[in-house]
Amino acid sequence: MKDLLLAIDQGTSSCKITIFDIEGHVIASRTKTYETRYPSEGYVEQDCNDWWLVSVEGIRELLEETHINPEAIKGIGVDGISWACIPIDKTGNVLYPTMIWLDTRATKEAQWMKEVAGEEALIALSGNPVDAAYITPKMLWLKSNEPEIFAKTDKLLQSNAFLVYRLTGVLSQDYSQGYGFHFFDMNKGEYNEGMATKLGLSLDLVAPLFHSHEIVGGVTAEVAELTGLKKGTPVVAGGLDAACCTLGAGVISVGQTQEQGGQAGGMSICLDKALIHPKLILGYHVIPNRWLLQGGTTGGGGTLNWVNREFGQYEQDRATEENSNPFAIMSSEAAQIPAGSDGVVYLPYMKGERSPLWNPNAKGVYYGLSYDKTRAHMIRSTMEGVGYSLQHNLETAYEVGATVGTLSSVGGSANSDVWTQLKADITGLKIEVPYSDHATTLGAAILAGVGVGLYKNFEDAISRTVKIQKVYEPNKENEEIYKQGYQTYRKLSEILVDQFF
């Protein structure tokens, strides 16, 4: 009976449960979706109990279908979305719908934080901008707008911590998700009581800190009955999905950079010290003594999903006829359009924009359309706009001395040769693509494997599990074209930033 690891990836639109062997091979995987609600402008909510229900269903179904002996599963790792605010009472009951990372209702509270504590002081301590999407403004929103709920709140958990709590009954807060709190000291790796008090918050609201690979507890008897898991199976603290994805892409050394091609876009640069830029996101990596300087954008693979949904009936019909994938067809269409999309430039701000703009009112824009342009131009320019937003974040990181070597690209867009190549051309950086479809869950599984001792260390884990599938070198012939396209992108962004409302 070979040793196995179980990973739970709680994502923005779905939960993926995957079982790996210790060589990183996928034994079985299941994805379950859940509802996202938009009850009012700026409000984006989910029911975190749905996360738990689909996790239980997925684990039970995988074990039943594969007939895996639950004793073979030696550890469980969990990752989750950022900036999810989950208030629970002393008995663990969820008190309010979960405000996820896309929720920006707490704009007044973010402004109040700047006035009371000083924006520079907050950034210097936490290493992060003061923005409504973060957890701290959401905590203050609950305090101001739902005082009865806030009074009943015993702890405010984040996504992976909530699922770990459901699995083990133990409260935890991992370091990689600490960046959501503006009273978390990014240099020292500890909560700052003085800043919390200044913001009118108590440290009693947050759970004890754990390293992401530390064992928090074991699967309870009740959960074992529900899922088929073995009682006592070790569960580690886990971490931020983007950080676990970075680990699953093999990024553990200084300068290595993960390029995110999932629903959202962005990058994560591995650092050995906290480099703070007020327009970027800084957090602990899921491995000790490493930080990640991150650019997080709202427009990643989700932008092409939108194009496919709204304008892609032709590709969908053709994919059905040919038993193929509409996104593969879209990529082939984009390949017929020259670099630079004949002057069509896209701003991928489809749900406001995070770094480096931090403008919740930003809007998606296509510029340069004319009668001679086709849907294929729009498809390619969509891909290029996401590439330009990546370059914008990288350039911002260079301003504080971050160094970037090779990009490791993961997520759905990494499956597109066209999209990945144009990102290499835009950034001027070599891109390596590991087996990317399971990078996030692999990262969570690695945390569990290191935690229970199946791997000697993180270097051992990466050498055994991460395999590079493709390599893309920048095309020098396209360099000047993309420099011009990028300058147009930046000018449009700068001109329109004050026009968004």
* pLDDT computed for residue 83 by the predictor: 96
* Per-residue 3-state assignment (H helix, E strand, C coil) for 349-408: CECEECCCCCECCCCCEEECCCCCCCHHHHHHHHHHHHHHHHHHHHHHHHCCCCCCCCEE
Pairing of strands 209-210, 365-367: unpaired
* pLDDT computed for residue 395 by the predictor: 97
CATH of domain 4-241: 3.30.420.40
| Cβ partners under 8 Å of residue 95, min gap 6 | 87, 88, 89, 149, 152, 153
Q: Scanning the structure block, which residue is given the tokens 């693979």?
A: 301
Pick one of 3.30.420.40, 3.40.47.10, 2.60.40.10, 3.40.50.720 as the CATH number of 250-435+467-501: 3.30.420.40
* 389, 279 Cβ separation under 8 angstroms: no
pLDDT tens column, 159-213: 999 999 999 999 999 999 999 999 999 999 999 999 999 999 999 999 999 999 9
If one counts every other C-beta atom within 10 angstroms of the C-beta of residue 406, the result is 16
Specify the DSSP class assigned to residue 214. S
* pLDDT computed for residue 299 by the predictor: 87
Asked if residue 435 has pLDDT above 80, the reply is no
The average pLDDT across 340-346 equals 98
Burial class of residue 403 (count of CB atoms within 10 Å of its CB; 0-12, 13-18, 19+): exposed
| Cβ partners under 8 Å of residue 262, min gap 6 | 11, 245, 300, 301, 410, 411, 412, 413
Give the side-chain half-sphere CA count within 13 A for 115. 7
Q: How confident is the model at residue 436 (pLDDT cuts 50, 70, 90)?
A: low
How much is the mean pLDDT over the chain? 95
3-state class percentages of the chain: helix first, strand second, coil last, to nearest 5: 45, 20, 35
The average pLDDT across 229-253 equals 96
The average pLDDT across 53-73 equals 97
Query: Is-same-fold flag (4-241; 250-435+467-501)?
Result: yes
Burial class of residue 500 (count of CB atoms within 10 Å of its CB; 0-12, 13-18, 19+): middle
The structural domains of the chain, with segments of one domain joined by +, span 4-241, 250-435+467-501
Distance CA 205, CA 413 (A): 38
Read off the tokens for 140.
């203050």
Asked if residue 26 has pLDDT above 70, the reply is yes
| Cβ partners under 8 Å of residue 93, min gap 6 | none
Distance CA 235, CA 168 (A): 7
Distance CA 80, CA 61 (A): 21
pLDDT tens column, 31-59: 999 999 999 999 999 999 999 999 999 99
* pLDDT computed for residue 59 by the predictor: 98
